[in-house]
Amino acid sequence: MLMELSNKVTDIYSQRRGDPKFKRFVGAILCGGYGKRLRPLTESTPKSLIEIKNGYTILERQMFQLKYVGISKVYLLAGYLHEKIKERYGENYNGLKIEYLIEDKPRGTLYAINNLLDVLDEDQVAVIMNGDIVTDANISEMLNQWVEDTVSMLVTPLISPYGIVELEADHRITSFVEKPKLPYYINGGIYIVPKTLERHFKEFKEGDVERLVFPRLAREGLLRYYKEDEAYWCSVDSLKDLGNVQKEYENRTDKPWGYEKVIVCTEHYLTKMLYIMKGYRTSLHMHKEKDETLHVIRGEGIVVLEGKHIRVKSGDIVRIRPKTQHLIYAIENMTIYEYSTPNLSDVIRIEDPYRRDD
């Protein structure tokens, strides 16, 4: 009975793996640049192979995301030190097929994208990622909102690089705000590009797609956007950026459905933050000894608990006792705090849709 109920709470990954129409989508990552502002790290290592966590690179994070969108093939648009990328990942990453399109020298994002469009079938659509971004943006939801025969761009809020001072007309300073979000958006470095619009890209041989093609597409009404104001996003352009990303990844583990981060761990109790993306679910699992309480901080979802579907939203609390089979499904992007006894590895997966090895 529980399995029948839990299967009604399906996830994006399983749906798309079973949908023949979704095979038209392929992944692509722009990872051919020199990464000059990250020297000396990039003198012998391509930017995409810089580690954001021990043994876990920027490129690996991106391929992980594309795999669990349901994509089965990714093109690496590589150049500088591409041999090292191929040596590390070869032709397969965790079941994701890899092909390489190599340029002899950096010729701009447009040149690399044109190389990609040359090898796509007429009905194929590319999900393209800049090779220096680390983000929790929900790519599945971006695909859901994509409109046929248009280009879609992830946009992300512009964060002030400085703290700001709030003023009153009588020359009083009222408060300080540390690096606030500004009322503007910037290019977030993820694009959905269909082969059907190839002619717009082929007008130029090389250069920056952001300057040469996207403005024209915008004028013709062919460029759309997808945004998530709260999703983590960082472009790793400097050593300071890298330090910020590495700090984000302290005690964090990426999951097919989002991520979990250990906040506090003592011999007596454990606190974790779970981030579950809209349309995704955890595995159906249980714990032998761990006694946990879920506190929904943001978003809305369903907790399947021993056959019962419990609708939860911000502020709700759910107790899960040991040996209780359960899963969590996100109706919206969800942030959950999990308070429990400190049994970090006490997980028994009963049914897992993601075909992962961990």
Confidence bin at 124 (pLDDT 50/70/90): very high
- CA neighbours closer than 13 Å in the CB half-sphere of residue 169: 0
Count CA atoms within 13 Å of residue 89 on its CB side: 29
pLDDT at 329: 95
On the question of pLDDT at 9 being above 70, the answer is no
Domain 254-351 is of which CATH architecture? Sandwich (2.60)
Does the annotation count 179 as an active-site position? yes
Residues 2-15 as b or e (16 or more Cβ within 10 Å = b): beebbeebebbbbe
In 3D, which of 18, 73, 71, 65 has the Cα closest to residue 257?
Answer: 65
- Which of 256, 243, 288 lies closest to 52 in space, CA to CA? 243
Q: Per-residue pLDDT tens for 59-102?
A: 999 999 999 998 999 999 988 888 899 999 999 998 899 999 98
Residue located via tokens 């391509």: 46
Determine the pLDDT at residue 190.
96
pLDDT of residue 13: 61
| Domain ranges, ordered by start, for the chain | 2-248, 254-351
Q: What is the DSSP string of 108-157?
A: -HHHHHHHHHHHS-TT-EEEEEETTEEE---HHHHHHH--TTSEEEEEEE
What's the CATH number of domain 2-248, 3.30.413.10, 3.90.550.10, 3.40.50.11540, 3.90.45.10?
Answer: 3.90.550.10
Say yes or no: do domains 2-248 and 254-351 share a fold.
no
Q: What six digits make up the tokens of 182?
A: 């500004």
Residue 252: how many other CB atoms lie within 10 Å: 17
Q: Of residues 8, 36, 179, 247, which has the active-site annotation? A: 179
3-state secondary structure of 32: coil
Percent of the chain predicted with pLDDT > 70: 92
* Number of other residues whose CB lies within 10 A of the CB of residue 21: 8
- pLDDT reading at 350 higher than 60: yes
User: What is the distance between the alpha carbons of residues 311 and 186, in angstroms, rounded to a whole number?
Assistant: 35
For 229-249, the pLDDT digits (tens) are: 989 999 998 898 999 999 999
Q: Is the pLDDT of residue 5 over 50?
A: no
Q: In this predicted model, what pLDDT tens digit does every residue of 125-168 receive, in sequence order?
A: 999 999 999 999 999 999 999 999 999 999 999 888 888 888 88
pTM, two decimals, is 0.86
